[in-house]
Structure 1
Amino acid sequence: MASTACITSVTAPGDAVGLRERARGALLGLAVGDALGAPAENMRPSQIRARWGRVTGYVAEKPAGTDDTEYAIFSGLLLARHGSALTPAHVEAAWHQWIAGRAEGPFRGAGFSERGTLENLRRGLAAPVSAQHRHAWSDGLAMRAAPFGVFAAGRPAEAARLVAVDGSVSHDGEGIHGGQAVAAGVAAAMAGASPVAVVAAALAVVPEDSWTARSLRRAVTVAHRGERAVRSAVVIGGYPWTDLAPEAVALAFGAYAAADGDFRDAVLTAVNMGRDADTTAAVAGALAGATQGVSAIPPEWAAPIGPARGTCLPSMAGHHILDVAELLIPDEDRRWDTTGSTLAPHKTEALS
């Protein structure tokens, strides 16, 4: 049972320019949040304050996206190729062709969930068995979920369905729920939903009694009290790993709610809470970027975001997150398809 009344669709904007602005805002917002949060990853707020005071902008000399951005590009290109016809077989084949079958970057395939997935795929295991590893509950799907919300703008349920297809290769349980919440939230924001409605859309696609839903509700309930309250409400104290999907997704939505959808405040709130700061800031950035559009992203934050360096996925080097946004926006002469059957254009830039 979903945790709020089922939200199957949100009124889609009729302005293609506005839709493009939101799509670019969502995906560039993800990359900006990723780059801003990367230096603070795995840190406590006290450690962040001791090193930088309060983070108010880039603290890295050469800011760039991490695995969050590169996997979002990967999933976005795959989605642009197959659209609503995406199947687990498509996803599995792409992982083999573009990740498992190629040399890895210095990140060696990214986080624990990605490592476990790659090991299983290389052993010949197929989805969903390939997702049976110790970190199937991680935020690795949530970090790449925003493109599904962009593609299924105004259709949170369809965004949640598609991201679950993508996640079937690498995640299970709460890992899937986290990705669905993010994808649905972005889909609602793409259609101009208010922050309250964005949160409701996220909650509507995950089980009411799931860890993800409980954490998300706690986070947004105390969001008006600020980042310390949000962090205290959901962080699993003493647990050594920071990539728990229910925790990271709740922190991101809490930051977004605390900022009432404002891009700058949402991202900086997520960064300064620490933990898996690159992912939480990436998700908060995607939600707020879809809500406010690309013009809300400070130019000094947008400027350093260039084509992916391939640090994690060498096969993604040279792809720009904004190019992915363009691939996922429906053609100007294409009508909104509320049945979820419309396919994205088969452009040469998409994964085949």
Structure 2
Amino acid sequence: MGATAGPVWGRREQQDFRSRVRGTLLGAAVGDALGAPVDGLDLDAIRRAHGAGGLADLAPAYGRRGAVTHHTQLTLFSVDGLIRAQVRRDTGAWHPPTDLHRAYLRWATTQRDWGPDERREEDGWLAREEWLYARRDPARALLIGLGDETMGTPAAPKNPAEAGPEAAARSAPFGLLVGWEPQLVAQLAVECAAQTHGRPTACLAAGAYAVIVHALARGEHLDAAVQQTLALLAARPGHEPVSEALQQALGAVRQGVPTPERVTQLVGAATAEGAVAAAVYCALVGEDVRHGLRLSVNHDGPSAATGALTGGLLGALHGETALPPAWLVELEGRPTILELADDFAMEMTQGPALHGPGGSSPAWLARYPRGA
């Protein structure tokens, strides 16, 4: 797998890119946190707990307001894996799916251990963040898929019948590879999805979501980003369920005032393609970011995943300053998310100054080791 030459980065372009990276990661985390308290509840139960209008604000989950789930944890390890792939490229090793798999195995360790092992310097800094060792109801497919060191691939996927949205919900960072061609972004997301969610539609939904984020991060409008993604999907075997779900989302935009029932209909059986379609719809019809995120969690489906997917789209589209500040203040792990976002932006825009033939920063290589 290769990447095309990256964009030319002026100061303004770097600042815009950093804002979109921050927006994507913070937006996904905020959506995840908003949906966490009602995840798994149907709409009637949400309304009984939060009133006729449903959930409108952050509410307690896992003992606090603003708590995130495994969706955010894995999204952060996706970023970590992408940075490590860039650093390892100096050694001549270039297979990003392997680096992502190693990152996901580091996440799996956080779900088994009480806390970080300070002796394992090769794990890098993210795996030593103690707050990430909280177990937040990870889907069984994640624990099985990452339960041993065998890496699933599209030809031999882990959990080949698993159609859920968890792989798509960790795929926003792939879309931030703005120097890559969309086809390569899609392929990387598909290959990494196969490590835990092997049903072809789940893999293609992850690829489609990453490509939409990719277009947004490059400055496209959301409707144009979806149209470009549909054109790309059309060339892939088995794309029909994913394409049809996205077409239904676009069609629903023209059906009048958005309702939770319409979001529920798009989510359907809580498949990956349904959650991605619902996220696209919520991001398109929301009057603002707050409204779009509220729509994304008040329905019968997987509220945390749909919230995370919607937040990633809105953050990539508008940048960090569009996100509700009152929600960001309470967001679990915000300092870590910002630090990782800025590291990713710096690696993607200034990587050669951090490591390469001309010399390397020891501090950077301590944060993102070239080893495992």
The whole-number CA distance in structure 2 between the counterparts of 1:114 and 1:135 is 13
Equivalent residue for 2:203, pick from 176, 199, 219: 176
Q: For the aligned residues, what is the CA RMSD?
A: 3.1
Aligned letter for 2:308? A
Equivalent residue number for residue 339 of structure 1: none
Contact kept? 1:72, 1:147, Cα under 8 Å: yes
Determine helix, strand or coil for the equivalent of 1:136: coil
Contact kept? 2:73, 2:107, Cα under 8 Å: no
The whole-number CA distance in structure 2 between the counterparts of 1:72 and 1:283 is 11
In structure 2, relative to structure 1, the CA distance for the partners of 1:92 and 1:292 (3 Å cut) is closer
Determine helix, strand or coil for the equivalent of 2:176: helix
Equivalent residue for 2:188, pick from 153, 157, 162: 162
- Higher alpha-carbon deviation: 56-65 or 98-107: 98-107
Equivalent residue number for residue 307 of structure 1: 333
Matched, 1:115 2:143: yes
How high is the TM-score relative to the length of structure 1? Answer: 0.79
Equivalent residue number for residue 350 of structure 1: 368
Unaligned residue ranges in structure 1 (runs of 5+):
1-8, 309-318, 336-344
Aligned letter for 2:144? G
Equivalent residue for 1:127, pick from 143, 152, 171: 152
Matched, 1:67 2:83: no
Percent of residue pairs identical:
24
Equivalent residue number for residue 99 of structure 2: 90
In structure 2, relative to structure 1, the CA distance for the partners of 1:97 and 1:210 (3 Å cut) is same
Contact kept? 2:296, 2:307, Cα under 8 Å: yes
Contact kept? 2:160, 2:197, Cα under 8 Å: no
Deviation at 1:66, TM superposition (A): 0.5
Matched, 1:329 2:345: yes
Superimposed CA distance per residue, residues 282-338 of structure 1 (whole angstroms, 9 cap, x where no aligned partner): 111110111111111111111112428xxxxxxxxxx82222211221569659xxx
- Higher alpha-carbon deviation: 105-114 or 196-205: 105-114
Determine helix, strand or coil for the equivalent of 1:291: helix
- Higher alpha-carbon deviation: 293-302 or 41-50: 41-50
Matched, 1:210 2:240: yes
Equivalent residue for 1:252, pick from 265, 279, 287: 279
Equivalent residue number for residue 278 of structure 1: 304
Determine helix, strand or coil for the equivalent of 1:15: helix
Q: Which runs of 4+ in 1 moved over 4 A?
A: 9-14, 330-335
Q: Which of the pair has more CA radius of gyration?
A: 2
Aligned letter for 2:329? A
